[in-house]
Amino acid sequence: MSVFRIKKALWPPVLGVMLVFAGCAPSPHDCAARGENTLLEQVLEKCPEAVNALDRKKKTPLHTAVGANNLEAMALLAEHGGDLDAADITGMTPLHVAAMLGRVDAAAWLLDHGASRELADLFGDTPLHTAAVFGQGGVARLLVQRGASLDGRNKDGKTPRELAVEHRHDRVRALLDRLAGAERSGV
């Protein structure tokens, strides 16, 4: 292994630790995105207010952890007081991010820890609407099983089912139809 490769392999973790101890911590967003959870914990210990720090799009580190499907970082952030329902510049919460990206495990974790399943973004879309728009059937199923409304309408007056049709996600539309039928029959 060349010296360059060794330096390259050691550089980010060593630099990160040095910056934390020098008082210039890396962004908690970067730590969550890269899976540097030990460094994230150090940042949060040194700078507790960083737990809900906002990036330029007003996303918190929890939004980033969900996007990276980093469940360990999600748990760390929640333990340190991370806001599970924080809204970014478009009103999307971490649960919206999970719905958009099809992160079923992250969505389940958020719901298990108290995230709201009915908060709407600036367009009036709940996480279920978002799952329908992006064709994420696994998250849509989870949200409905956890009590999300199939009948909610966004600012354009559309239900999640109508959005699935509009965006040509036939499997999600069929899933929502089945779930609506089961809901009506009390199953």
CATH architecture, range 88-187: Alpha Horseshoe (1.25)
d(CA 121, CA 124): 5
Q: What's residue 56's pLDDT?
A: 93
Q: Write down the pLDDT at residue 26.
A: 85
The amino acid at 84: L
DSSP H helices in the chain = 3-22, 28-34, 37-46, 61-67, 71-79, 94-101, 104-112, 127-133, 137-145, 160-166, 170-185
- Confidence at residue 20, expressed as pLDDT on a 0 to 100 scale: 45
Residue where the block lists tokens 């919460």: 93
Q: What is the pLDDT at residue 11?
A: 43
- Phi, psi angle pair for 114, to nearest 5°: 100, 10
Name the pTM for this structure.
0.85
Q: Identify the sign of the CA torsion 97, 103, 109, 114.
A: positive
Domain boundaries, the chain: 1-83, 88-187
**What is the pLDDT at residue 12?**
46
End-to-end CA distance of the chain: 61
Note the pLDDT of residue 114: 98
Domain 1-83: assigned CATH number: 1.25.40.20
pLDDT in tens, the chain (187 residues): 333 333 344 444 444 444 444 455 689 999 999 999 999 999 999 999 999 999 999 999 999 999 999 999 999 999 999 999 999 999 999 999 999 999 999 999 999 999 999 999 999 999 999 999 999 999 999 999 999 999 999 999 999 999 999 999 999 999 999 998 866 655 4
Residue whose entry in the numeric block shows the structure tokens 């329908």: 132
pLDDT at 181: 83
CA angle 15, 46, 79 (to 5 degrees): 110
The reply to whether 88-187 shares the fold of 1-83 is yes
Could you give the angle at the alpha carbon of 114 between the alpha carbons of 110 and 119, nearest 5°?
85
